[in-house]
Amino acid sequence: MLKLIFYSAMAILFSGHTAAQYYNQQKLYHANQNNLSIRFHEYSQNELLSLENLITKNVNSDVKMDSLITTSITGDGMKVLFEYDQKSKLSSWLIQFNTNNEWENSSMTSNSYDKNGKLVTKLYLDWGGSSWDSTSRIIYKYDEQDNLIQDVFQSYSGNDWIDLSRTIYKSYNSSGNADTVIDETWHNNLWEEKELINFFYSVQNRKDSIIFYIWNGSAWQNDFKTIFYYNGTQTGLDSIVSKFWGGEWLNNFKQIIFNDSNNNETEQIDQTANGIWWENSVRRFFTYNEANLITYANCDIWSANGWTKGDGNFTITNPNGFIAGFITNNIKIYYSNISGVNNKIRVVNDFSLSQNYPNPFNPSTTINYFIPKASFVSIKVYDILGKEVAELVNEERSAGSHRVQFNANGLASGVYIYSIKSGVYSKSRLMILEK
């Protein structure tokens, strides 16, 4: 099994191609509908550590990734829609698949933050046809210095949350980077160590290498190593090499990277080791807008000694805190709130339902919405099991912006869903009640 950065070995996402560093299946969110060839993988916090602190770019804080659409070689499509809270924190993202030329809900992820803006809970839900069903969640814990010290992945049984795995962030270096991490799984009512990861940094605070160890029952033993090579000015990556342990470090995987004058990665070529030779695997191309943000990516697959159009693995980063991997042929990415930059903006319905504020809340919160013409409006609140708990609006409303208060007195802490319906328009969002 080949390992680097791109996906978890707990689910074979990139069959026949390079596999990424093994991470336990926490945070692995594998959206797949009707056996579509597209796959989606949201990176775990561990995997984010492998991706961050390599090259830092100045990103306009007003820029938000609005949506992205992937298309596979067979024409299957997937859409990811991003939503943000009042502080521009990524609050949720919705995954939809194109079925019979209509976008249908598949899954949703909702983030909740503490008063300091630290991510405390990530909730995963699947669409059941008429309601959202909780499937799993991650709970994040921090120390007094706001360093992440633990995250726990749990599944929902229908009645209770069950521990599956956790990651322990044991130490940080003087620059605030995690340098020792341990993955554990819950087994027979005990936490069992599975993997140890050491991160090494240069004096320029660039990630130099990562070494992965597996627990053999009595000691840690070498497993895989990833090495990062930078250009002469340390402003861009030239290549990434993965090696596996076979009594000595042996070549496993290599990615060759080409950058433009703005240090944007414009092309990547993946190669796998075959004895003393490197064999081509996947080639990716990236297009950027004037703000140096990716707007389009596509890939080729090496076949019969030549490149041909096909589905390959991509890593896409949202400037507001989201990194995900996809298996597809091409990706189109759209942004909003860009001033003075020519860029494609997703055409949205004139109707809108804003994220409630504050969120999390206790006991009341405000919901804003906009309708372009006078129409009958219904806004209802549901618990996570789909049971209606409140009706906020049920009447004709004039065109324009409106707001409504929701008071959750008498309700238990947890995740709730509020939905608007007006004519053919409907939309749902998640909110967190914390008492």
Model pLDDT, residue 321: 61
Kindly state the greatest CA–CA separation across the chain: 74
Q: Concatenated DSSP letters for 135-159?
A: EEEEEEEE-TT--EEEEEEEEE-SS
Separation of alpha carbons 316 and 196, rounded Å: 26
Separation of alpha carbons 59 and 293, rounded Å: 9
Model pLDDT, residue 415: 82
Q: With contact defined as beta carbons under 8 Å apart, do 12 and 28 qualify?
A: no
Separation of alpha carbons 193 and 36, rounded Å: 35
Return the SS3 of 51.
helix
β-pair partners for 182 = 168, 196
Residue where the block lists tokens 């005990």 = 190
Q: With contact defined as beta carbons under 8 Å apart, do 310 and 294 qualify?
A: no
Separation of alpha carbons 197 and 43, rounded Å: 16
Tens digit of each residue's pLDDT (9 = 90 or more) over 281-326: 999 999 998 888 889 999 999 998 899 999 988 887 766 666 777 8
Which residues, other chains included, contact 60 with Cβ-Cβ below 8 Å and sequence gap of 6+? 291, 338, 339
Separation of alpha carbons 27 and 17, rounded Å: 22
Q: With contact defined as beta carbons under 8 Å apart, do 336 and 46 qualify?
A: no
The neighbour count for residue 374, using CB atoms within 10 Å, is: 11
Residue where the block lists tokens 């120390």 = 143
Which residues, other chains included, contact 276 with Cβ-Cβ below 8 Å and sequence gap of 6+? none
Q: What is the CATH number of domain 352-433?
A: 2.60.40.3080
Which residues, other chains included, contact 34 with Cβ-Cβ below 8 Å and sequence gap of 6+? 97, 99
The neighbour count for residue 285, using CB atoms within 10 Å, is: 15
β-pair partners for 101 = none
**Is beta strand 322-328 parallel, antiparallel or unpaired with respect to 352-353?**
unpaired
Give per-residue burial for 219-232: e unless 16+ CB within 10 Å, then b: eeebbbbbbbebee
Share of the chain residues as helix, strand and coil, in percent rounded to the nearest 5? 0, 60, 40
Model pLDDT, residue 337: 59
Per DSSP, 60 falls in state -
The pair of structure tokens assigned to 324 is 């995900």
Per DSSP, 183 falls in state E
Q: With contact defined as beta carbons under 8 Å apart, do 163 and 156 qualify?
A: no
pLDDT in tens, the chain (435 residues): 223 333 322 222 222 222 233 222 222 223 333 333 334 445 455 444 544 444 444 455 567 888 889 999 988 888 888 888 777 788 888 888 887 788 888 888 888 888 888 889 988 888 887 777 888 899 999 999 889 999 999 998 878 899 999 999 999 998 888 899 999 999 999 999 999 999 998 887 888 899 999 999 899 999 999 898 988 776 788 999 999 999 999 999 999 999 998 888 999 999 999 988 999 999 999 999 888 888 999 999 999 889 999 998 888 776 666 677 788 899 999 887 533 333 333 333 467 888 888 888 899 999 989 888 899 999 999 987 778 999 999 999 998 889 999 999 999 888 888 989 888 788 888 888 887
Q: What is the dihedral of CA 236, 239, 245, 249, to 10 degrees?
A: -100
Per DSSP, 75 falls in state -
Model pLDDT, residue 15: 24
Query: Where does 246-276 show beta strands of DSSP type E?
Result: 249-259, 265-274
Closest CA to 115 of 432, 383, 413: 432
Model pLDDT, residue 326: 82
Q: With contact defined as beta carbons under 8 Å apart, do 174 and 157 qualify?
A: no
The pair of structure tokens assigned to 252 is 């496993």
Model pLDDT, residue 184: 95
Give the fold, CATH level 3, of 39-336. Porin (2.40.160)
The neighbour count for residue 389, using CB atoms within 10 Å, is: 15
The neighbour count for residue 303, using CB atoms within 10 Å, is: 11
Tens digit of each residue's pLDDT (9 = 90 or more) over 108-152: 888 888 888 888 998 888 888 777 788 889 999 999 988 999 999
β-pair partners for 421 = 378, 426
Model pLDDT, residue 76: 86
Model pLDDT, residue 30: 30
Domain ranges of the chain: 39-336, 352-433
Q: What is the pTM of this model?
A: 0.74
Model pLDDT, residue 26: 25
